[in-house]
Structure 1
Amino acid sequence: MRRGIAATALVAALAMTTAACGGDDGGTAGNDQGSKELSGTVTYWDTSNEAEKGTYQALAEGFTKLHPKVKVTYVNVPFGEANAKFKNAAGGNSGAPDVMRTEVAWVADFASLGYLAPLDGTRAVDNEKDWLPQAAASTKYDGKTYATPQVIDTMALFYNKKMLKDAGVEPPRSITELKAASAKISAKDPGKTGLYLRGDDPYWFLSFLYGEGGDMVDAKDKKITVGDQAGVKAYSVIKDLVDSKAAITDAADGWNNMQNAFKSGKVAMMLNGPWAIADSRAGAEFKDPANLGIAPVPAGSVKQGSPQGGWNLSVYAGSKNLNASYEFAKYMSSAQVQQQTTEKLSLLPTRTSVYAVPSVAGNEMVKFFKPAVDKAVERPWIPQGNSLFEPIRLQMANVLTGKTAPDKAASATADGYRKLLKDYK
């Protein structure tokens, strides 16, 4: 729940007071990089999934080996709850973590509310020139840095190599090829379907929107574009995939249903990102890890497109242990930790130097996803960026259930954006 201006002002004032007086838990004053040994507690909210959280907890708690007087309190917060939970805690000045793993679209939002500490000139920002430019872009708001980039990602087509081979098809390069491949897969085994279409999460819609040459908004010219013909076409494509039985979908619990369907061989393909690699390989169909194939997202009628995603590390403006929190954010985004993250989870680093490490450069998922990330479409890094998904989510459900025609859905999505973006045309 978004708090009002009064709450925002309170947190901003608290941040300035804390910076001036220093934390009461062992931190030194504000941005002072003094030599005083770090101590106290850093509470870290991690938003990683079930397959990843054990690795992230071990890495986070490893901070204490470097700073024995700092205790790291690790808390795993489900992704779907994390945004609202942080806003409620930060806005109410009670229970917010010192450091949070923030989705890239959340940084500008939280910063605009005064909930994040600016990091320029603090311990957190280390060798900024080593950050991938597109990863660094998501850490900025109003000319300041409010996060350190942790991992970067994009979407791809995950496929079951054996199922495609048995059906005599190659990984589809376009939506047209996807429909043809799905038909052959179902013909080979009537109990199987080609694709699981994530119908309850609007992030999955972006690849279809970009594939038709569209976008949510033009942030530079402050123009709403989702209601254009490309948006209409994107809604038409997802509707046609389900109506033609090239894909199956669900209105709720899409993540679990998608993963279970793919891991059990009920479907041969899905759109997903590096965060799904570990969980997917835990499925019965992928006891042989080599059976998991990765290919670019099938192109729409205009191009192949997938969104840039990822995770950053932000420090709460009201933290009572700012310097330890800055150091923790630095540690969790360091080259060493990023290397370990790639080695254990096949997630992509945000530091250029890490890609030169043999264990990272030789990782098969990095080999595929790094070129895909380089071509990914940057999302609008504006405070309302995360809020742009809800109008899409509502209209995806309406389109897939036949309640709303694609052209009406695109128009309704644009209307929803106009309520969020008062200065956009």
Structure 2
Amino acid sequence: MRRGIAATALVAALALAATACGGGDSGDKADGPVTLTWWDTSNATNEAPTYKAMIAEFEKANKDIKVKYVNVPFDQAQNKFQTAAGSKGAPDIIRAEVGWTASWAKSQFLAPLDGTPALDKQDDITPSLLKQAQYEGKTYGAPFVTDTLALMWNKDLLKKAGHDKAPATWDELKTVAKDVKDKAGVDGFWLNNATYYEMAFLFGEGTDMVDAANKKITINSPEAVKAVDTSKGVLAADGVAKLDVTADAYAHMQDAFVNGKVAMIVQGPWELTNIYKGASFKDKANLGISNVPAGSTGKAGAPTGGHNLSVYAGSDKSKQEAAQKFVGFMTSGATQAKIALKNGTLPTRTSAYTDEVKAAPGVAEFQQVLATSAQPRPDLPEYSTLLGDAFAQNLTKIFQGKTGTQAGLDAIAGEFKKLVPDFS
């Protein structure tokens, strides 16, 4: 979730906008099919093939619409779309992280979808996910997939350490991690220091980065200090892997987990497909999935993420209408069920949770986590941006001991004030 537009990103974005966007001349003949461009931000290896298959199915049933698929790396997509939309050259459809939707709607980059085929049968959509796609009373995204964070654990390794269930609190996790190190000879837990993952500690202390309802910055509150100190304590505990601040830290964590070099991580359902390919999880039943550990409040909390499909406001009428139809197809219950079975993602429609989908490895467990500990994001366009560089850099300094917890969080609060100046 990197923020800021570097010069190189601007150049790359404009180049991509000029060659693969829907706002300009698509080259369609007057009597030919409408050609749409879709920027997909999913994993190009594991998820994209399923989406391409769905496009083929849609085009077969809709001869007058063609969909040009472009996979854009997730960590580049936000900046690229903002740049392209600002120059009236964005794709007709984009798979947008839920935190981007309100911000882009505020910037008038997205077209409202209320009353269009993109949001057919709204009663079937999980209400909280629909709310996350709204801004000032209008809906600017069709919920496509949802997710949250859970504790994933290697059952065999925990069993070797004398534990048959996941730790329910962070203190219990430290105990289990030490036992795993002592008895199984591998690290017990790997802490991901990305800001999105730190939210589980904040929620566990009953706080957030901001109190949107009361327009108050809370990242440096006593509760937030306790949350960060809790994560520091976990990081320093026996049996916990050393902090990895390299550019490949995420990949290192995943590799360690799937190969049995670490017993527990906090992760989302987007990695299920990869995890089940790992040496330690050839037997899919070996993967445990449960709520993230609870903080001192006794309650576990994790952020609700996911992606919406949104339509670019700068596309002409014929393209917007075709895009609405395509979005409606891709986010329908029937299509989401097919995608869930192939990609291991969590649907946003009730009808997509068929018996077959619920029986798929990992899906039922994550559905339970969503119901018990996931917290929806507040209606704040800047919320996603708050998770960016200022938070990340200062959090890392705190973990490395280069600054104190309160001082580091005060620095983050100061940067937040620039993003939400009307907050106290």
Moved more, 52-61 or 98-107: 52-61
1:410 paired to 2:409: yes
Question: Equivalent of 1:121, from 91, 115, 125?
Answer: 115
Matched with 1:306 is 302
Question: Which residue identity does 1:289 align to in structure 2?
Answer: K
User: Post-superposition shift, 1:56?
Assistant: 2.1
Whether contact under 8 Å (1:175, 1:300) holds in the other structure is: yes
Structure-1 residue corresponding to 2:76: 81
Question: Could you tell me which residue of structure 2 aligns to residue 168 of structure 1?
Answer: 162
CA deviation string 1:6-65 (max 9, x = no partner): xxxxxxxxxxxxxxxxx99589xxxxxxxxx99321111111123222222222332211
Q: 1: distance between equivalents of 2:216 and 2:29?
A: 47
Distance change >3 Å, CA 272–CA 116, structure 1 → 2: same
Deviations 1:124-160 (A, max 9, x none): 1211121101110111011111010011111101111
- On the 8 A contact 1:101/1:311 being kept in 2, the answer is yes
Letter of the structure 2 residue corresponding to residue 165 of structure 1: K
How far off is 1:78 after superposition? 1.1
The match for 2:327 is 329
> Aligned to 2:413, what secondary structure does the other structure show?
helix
- Residue of structure 1 equivalent to 2:10: none
Q: Which residue of 2 aligns with 1:130?
A: 124
Paired residue for 2:42?
Answer: 48
Partner AA of 1:363 in structure 2: A
Task: Out of 295-304 and 408-417, give the one that drifted further.
Answer: 408-417
**For the structure 1 residues 172 and 414, does the alpha-carbon distance in structure 2 shift closer, same or farther, using more than 3 Å as the test?**
same
Aligned position for 1:401: 400
Is 175-184 or 393-402 further displaced after alignment? Answer: 393-402
Residue 363 of structure 1 corresponds to 360
Partner secondary structure for residue 189 of structure 2: strand
**Equivalent residue, structure 1, for 2:260:** 265
Contact 1:38 1:323 in 2 (8 A): no
Matches within 5 A, 1:17-416: 39-49=33-43, 50-94=45-89, 96-169=90-163, 170-190=165-185, 192-199=186-193, 201-248=194-241, 249-251=243-245, 252-302=247-297, 303-320=299-316, 321-355=319-353, 357-375=354-372, 376-390=374-388, 391-416=390-415
Q: Which amino acid aligns with 2:419?
A: L
Structure 1 residues 141 and 26: CA distance shift in structure 2, 3 A: farther
Return the offset for 1:121.
2.5
Q: Deviations over 1:211-242 (max 9, x none)?
A: 11111111111111121112111211222222
* Contact map agreement 1:2 1:87 (CA 8 A) in 2: no
| Structure 2: distance between partners of 1:326 and 1:400 | 46
Q: Deviations over 1:278-319 (max 9, x none)?
A: 011111111121111111111111121111111100011112
SS of residue paired to 1:105: helix
Give the direction of change, closer, same or farther, for the CA distance of 1:133–1:64 in structure 2 (3 Å limit).
same
Gaps spanning 5+ residues in structure 2: where?
A: 7-25
Q: Which amino acid aligns with 1:242?
A: L
Q: Give 3-state SS (helix, strand or coil) of 2:118's partner.
A: coil
Deviation at 1:362, TM superposition (A): 2.7
Residue 116 of structure 1: CA displacement?
0.6
8 A contact 1:105–1:381 mirrored in 2 = no
After superposition, give the CA deviation of every residue in 1:260-288 in whole Å (9 maximum; x if it has no partner): 11111111111011111001111111112
Task: State the AA in 2 paired with 1:208.
Answer: F
Distance apart, 1:189 and its partner CA: 3.9
CA distance in structure 2 between the aligned counterparts of 1:26 and 1:228, rounded to whole angstroms: 60
Distance 2:289 2:325 in 1: 36
Separation in 2, partners of 1:159, 1:122: 42
- Please tell me the residue identity of whatever aligns with 2:231: I
Name the SS for the 1:422 alignment partner: coil
Is this contact kept in 1: 2:290–2:369, CA < 8 A? no
Q: Residues 71 and 284 of structure 1: is their aligned pair in 2 closer, same or farther, counting only changes over 3 Å?
A: same
Kindly, what percent of the aligned residue pairs are identical?
A: 41
Q: Offset at 1:103?
A: 0.5
Partners of 1:129 and 1:39 lie apart in 2 by 32
316-325 or 102-111, larger mean C-alpha shift = 316-325
Equivalent pair of 1:211/1:299 in contact (CA under 8 Å): yes
- Please list the CA deviations of residues 373-409 of structure 1 after superposition, one character each: whole Å capped at 9, or x if unmatched: 1231111231101111023212221112111111112
Q: Structure 1 CA distance, aligned partners of 2:29 and 2:261?
A: 54
Q: Are the counterparts in 2 of residues 102 and 312 from structure 1 also a CA contact under 8 Å?
A: yes
Q: CA RMSD in A?
A: 2.1
The two structures have a TM-score, normalised by structure 1, of 0.88
